[in-house]
A and B are shown apart, each in its own frame.
Chain A
Amino acid sequence: MKRNVLIVEDCAVMQTVISRTLEMSRLNIGTIHTANDGKEGIERLSNGGIDLVILDINMPVMDGLEMLEEIRSREETRHIPVLIVSAESNNERVEFVASLGSGYLKKPFTPELLSREIERICSAGIGKVRLGTN
């Protein structure tokens, strides 16, 4: 089954880089949607049909961590796998993200690492994600 992906990232260049990486990967990717901040992302999620969210942290209006909490608090979205991608990394933040059943990938990342993390969080299931080794 193809996965429809929502990329939530305020940098248009990174939206393109991530989209292109997904398209060129061996992952079974369907339609790729984009949003520029967490609020836009939640609005897009409300329309349904999204199987995976790739989420930046530092964004205006609503940041990635706020959006992640919102996703997990809503009945209709709490099951959706979420991968956080961020240049910032500290143990507290990574553990918080993992506690909400989501993956954390530090920038810069290779296409292979992005694919591996997506496979890992999608196969682990929400609430069972463990911290990656990278």
Chain B
Amino acid sequence: MIKLMNSEALRDQIYAIALHTFEIVCFMYPLGEQEADENGLDEPDERVRSLVRFTGAREGAMIVTPSRQLRQSIASNMLGIEQADEEQEMGALKEISNILCGNAAPLLARNGTICSLKPPEIPNTEKDPASEIDDNVTETIRIPFDEGWVEITVVFTK
């Protein structure tokens, strides 16, 4: 049986995937830790988050929560426009979550079994998705951008 990498290694891998994805898809680069500390960045807007569930090797989900301004910039940068509307913001957030989760899913494979993704969704509930999974592992990373923080959480069965 292939063991899951340790927590720190898993977070490092997800961090690297996220940096690559934001760079390629949104042309966005993270701030350094010092810049982030000095700038008092906007926190993730927990009212709007994207959720991608997966099944297979492990049951679980990835939750992506950007700040309000970052959510706007993800969409406008992807589309190459000045100001994205709300529908475009939601579409862009779902797409970037799908890409992040699709690239992270192989990290959770075991015994030759993969994880398959469900379509991304924007849940209209504040219920914590982690609470739906018994005996779960939760890993969270946060990345600072000029427009605020993005928080990426992956929760899955042990």
Contact = CB atoms under 8 A, between A and B. Distances in A.
Interface of A: 10-14, 16-17, 20, 58, 60, 86-90, 106-110
B78 A108 contact: no
B80 A108 contact: no
Nearest to A86: B102
For the complex of A and B, the 3 pairs showing the least CB-CB separation, nearest first, are A87-B102, A108-B24, A13-B91
B99 A107 contact: yes
Given A17-B78, A108-B25, A60 B119 contact: yes
Interface string B90-112: 01101100111111011000000
B41 interface: no
Nearest to A11: B95
- The interface residues of chain B, by DSSP majority, are classed as helix
B79 A88 contact: no
B93 to A, nearest CB: 9
Contacts of A13: 75, 78-79, 88, 91-92, 95
Interface residues of B, number: 26
A20 B92 contact: no
A87 B101 contact: yes
B13 interface: no
26 contacts: A10-B119, A11-B95, A12-B87, A13-B75, A13-B88, A13-B91, A14-B91, A16-B79, A17-B78, A20-B79, A20-B80, A58-B117, A58-B119, A86-B102, A87-B98, A87-B103, A88-B102, A89-B102, A90-B106, A90-B114, A106-B103, A107-B25, A107-B99, A108-B20, A108-B21, A108-B99
Nearest to A20: B80
B92 to A, nearest CB: 5
B69 interface: no
A132 B95 CA distance: 24
Contacts of A60: 119
B138 interface: no
Contacts of B102: 86-89, 106-107
Contacts of B114: 90
Contacts of B117: 58, 87-88
A58 B114 CA distance: 16
Nearest to B23: A108
Given A86-B102, A88-B117, A90-B114, A110 B75 contact: no
Nearest to A15: B91
